[in-house]
Structure 1
Amino acid sequence: MWVALAADAGYHSEANLKQLAERGIAAWICDNHYRSRDPRYARQAKHKTTPDTLWDKSAKENKTRCFRPQDFQLAEDHSHCLCPAGKRLYANGSNCTIGGRHAIKFCGAERDCLPCERRSQCLRKPDTTKTRQVAFFMGKRDGTQSHTERMKARIDSDTGKRMIAARFATVEPVFGNLRHNKRLTRFTLRGRQKVDAQWKLWCMMHNIEKLAHHGYAG
């Protein structure tokens, strides 16, 4: 009998992945950025701004986040990378070691960075920092991949995508919706029969909402 383990990003750590590998357990454990690498989730942001009929789930305004390395496009020959504004950053360190990992560093040109309208999104201190620098990690310096890097490749494979998608067919989203979105943190009635009836009413509301969101209403 084949047994596989699938888990969310809360269980993703180098130590956990190492233990699974040493025990020979087939596992697919998401990292925090796996959705950004999967084109199936490219339009997921639109759901965060869809209002709920009972409680507003729209995205709250957060502090502006600077562009991260994954927002930059690395050239195939690693000679340069392109920033979100389409400007070229030039290599200023192709054989660096950071935390035991091989890294390639790039730096923008002042003629591009100084007049750029997206400086506030790219630099933490745009008033004092002239150009943007970014580093891409290419693996461990000794030539072996970390367990995290191997798991990313496994998650991004066709099999990995199917395994992760299979996790969505669980009851956890129902509990999350009722507890977090609908704020069902406790029952207001007492007795098994009354609590059972109250729980079924909340579940009925959950199902009706799903039907309405999928276009069955009206």
Structure 2
Amino acid sequence: MVTCYGSFVGLRVKPDLSCQNKFIPINFAEQILPGTFEYALCYIVENKLDLTGFDAWYNNDKTGAAAYSPAVMLKIILLGYAHGLISSRRIAKACENNILFMSVSGDVQPHYTSIAGFVAKMHEQIEPLFTQVLMICDEEGLIGRNMFAIDGCKLKSNASKEWSGTFDELGRKKAKLERASKRIIERHQAQDGLSEELVTQDLKQKEKLDKSAAKITEFLATHQEKTGSQGKPVKSNITDPDSAKMTTSKGTIQGYNGIAINDDKHQIILQAQAWGSVGEQQTLQPAVNQLKQQLAKLNANRTSKEQAIKFTADSGFNSEANLEFMAQSGFDSYIADNQFRKRNPLFKESETYETEQEKRRLKRSKGKPRLFTSDDFHYDEVTQTCRSPAGNEMWRSGINVKSYNQQYTRFCGYLKDCKICPLQQQCMRKPPIKTGRQVQFKNDESCKKLSYIDKMKVKIDSPMGRRQYSKRLGSIEPVFGNITVNKGMNKLTLRGQTKVNTQWQLYCLVHNIEKLQNRVH
């Protein structure tokens, strides 16, 4: 046995025995201290939650081995998630070695397959459990109903990014695998003197290639190609068809977007759902509808009757359809557009902001100069004429052209002028081939008919609007920071929309229970 004494040479200090084993009697009940997450978890699961929804799982006429209690399974899974142990194997290992997990589980060591199976099939039970915890939060006065905020968090899924592509791309990949498999056979036919070891290695490689090609063939035959909002094909994933490729600050991932709506008083999450190949704009309306259903289940007497609840969202949720929906939702909504920051008077004369914006633009455009906008063209509304920044006349190609619920007058440069224009690189992304540079200007009559986007711009640019929207950042962003960074729940271990949605709601359930840890005794 090795004893650790530390590195205090010449000092009279007691030895550090942390690397030694010790047999001591353990009282499991004394390991769960009041005021901790595990104490709140055990108290809520054992005394507050109705777990009768799990009874149907164990109605097997007393045949077979006895099952683990759903209360125990739920406690160890949520405790594991709270400590960043999102793998079923790591949770099972903790139940064998960690005193805290032994205390919470009552010294039960379920197999990792039992833990994974419990999470995978509890999609029907997670919604009632989530609502019950919200009711406890409401009873403790943690839900203020003054302002709600929505946002999304992109999480990596248990899917291979290499198996993504449109049906056309997957078809080409399948043909490439088949050609590689065919070349192995042709090489064996041309070279009879290959060693047995090399033949065995090649046959294994051929089997792997054939298996991958068959996997693509089966996927193309059993699935329909997905299309985007503009009707164009989008990438599908073979290992998890419901997931999607997403761009994040740390690169491109194959994953899901975890959407959550929370209350600003104590950052309680009221609605949570994970989305794969659906754009962020498309998640707002179903999320708000789910929020209303959740609020209806809570204590109606606590709902504010004096004024509408404020609702905030960033520019990712801004669209004409969404703003029209929110105008009829009963919420006092503040949803920014992607030009909101530029219109802020605080940033108008800020050299630091302009410098950083230019750095980002150069990074996106790979160092290319800024292209001319419609403000750089000389438009005469009275004569309905337009000149380019180089002084060339342009011809009017359209009147009352509709775009984004607005009407525009469109002009187009002459091809012969654009081809020899000295400002071509600043004006067009690529050299002109068929047409010259096009530019459009908003009609006055179009301005009179304000769209919901225009109305929201006026509302959110007001001093009151900016003040209300500024509260969004401190309301919703810390929630995702707590879930992904503090708790380490930064990826998903399951596949499929239904299972992933269950796991995301469990992550949010951990966050809400943590808010209750100082409220339960």
Aligning the two structures, in what range does the TM-score lie when normalised by the shorter sequence? 0.5 to 0.7
CA distance in 2, matches of 1:163, 1:103: 33
Shift in CA distance, 171/29, structure 1 to aligned 2, threshold 3 Å: closer
8 Å CA contact 1:93, 1:105 repeated in 2:
yes
Which residue of the partner structure matches residue 62 of structure 1? 365
Residues 153/145 of structure 1: CA separation in 2 closer, same or farther (3 Å cut): same
Contact 1:105 1:133 in 2 (8 A): yes
Deviation at 1:134, TM superposition (A): 0.6
Change (3 A) 1:72 1:10: same
The residue aligned with 1:153 is 458
Give the unaligned 5+ runs of structure 2: 1-305, 491-521
Q: 38-47 vs 74-83, which deviates more?
A: 74-83
The reply to whether residue 14 of structure 1 matches residue 320 of structure 2 is yes
Determine the C-alpha separation between the residues in 1 that align with 2:318 and 2:419: 39
Q: CA deviation at 1:10?
A: 1.6
The amino acid of 1:31's aligned partner reads D
Question: Separation in 2 of the partners of 1:120 and 1:185?
Answer: 46
1:44 Cα offset (Å): 2.1
Distance, in Å, in 1 between the alignment partners of 2:467 and 2:393 is 36
Query: Structure 1 stretches of 5 or more lacking a match?
Result: 51-56, 187-218
Offset from partner CA, 1:148-188 (integer Å, 9 cap, x none): 22222323333333333343444627966xx79xxx886xx
Fraction of identical pairs, as percent: 28
Shift of 1:122: 1.8
**Alignment CA distance shift 1:75-1:135 (3 Å):** closer
Q: 1:46 aligns with which of 348, 351, 355?
A: 355
**More helix by percentage:** 2
Deviates more, 1:71-80 or 1:8-17: 71-80
Which of 125, 146, 169 is 2:430 aligned to? 125
Q: Per-residue deviation at 1:96?
A: 2.2
CA contact (8 A) 1:90 1:107 kept: yes
Inter-partner Cα distance in structure 1 for 2:413 and 2:361 = 36
Following the alignment from structure 1 to structure 2, what is the Cα–Cα distance between the partners of residues 28 and 75? 34
Stretch of structure 1 that moved more, 96-105 or 70-79: 70-79
8 Å contact kept, 2:412–2:438: yes
Matched residues in 2 for 1:20 and 1:158: separation? 21
Cα drift, residue 18 of structure 1: 1.0
Quick check: 1:26 aligned with 2:332? yes
TM-score (norm 2): 0.27
SS at match of 2:341: helix
Alignment check: 8 A CA contact 1:18 1:147 kept = yes
| CA deviation after TM superposition for structure 1 residue 133, in Å | 1.6
- Bigger Cα Rg: 2
- Kept after mapping to 2: 8 A contact 1:6/1:167: yes
- 1:42-68 CA distances to partner (integer Å, 9 max, x unpaired)? 442434689xxxxxx997453548737
Secondary structure of the residue aligned to 1:32 is coil
Distance 1:108 1:49, change over 3 A: closer
* Residue-pair matches, total: 177
For normalisation by structure 1, the TM-score amounts to 0.54
Question: Aligned equivalents of 2:390 and 2:460: distance in 1?
Answer: 29
Aligned-partner Cα distance in 2 for 1:58–1:93: 30
Supply the RMSD in Å over aligned alpha carbons: 4.7
Any residues of structure 2 matched to 1:109-188 within 5 Å, and which? Answer: 113=418, 116-128=421-433, 131-138=436-443, 144-170=449-475, 172=477
The amino acid across from 2:470 in the alignment is A
Change (3 A) 1:139 1:69: farther
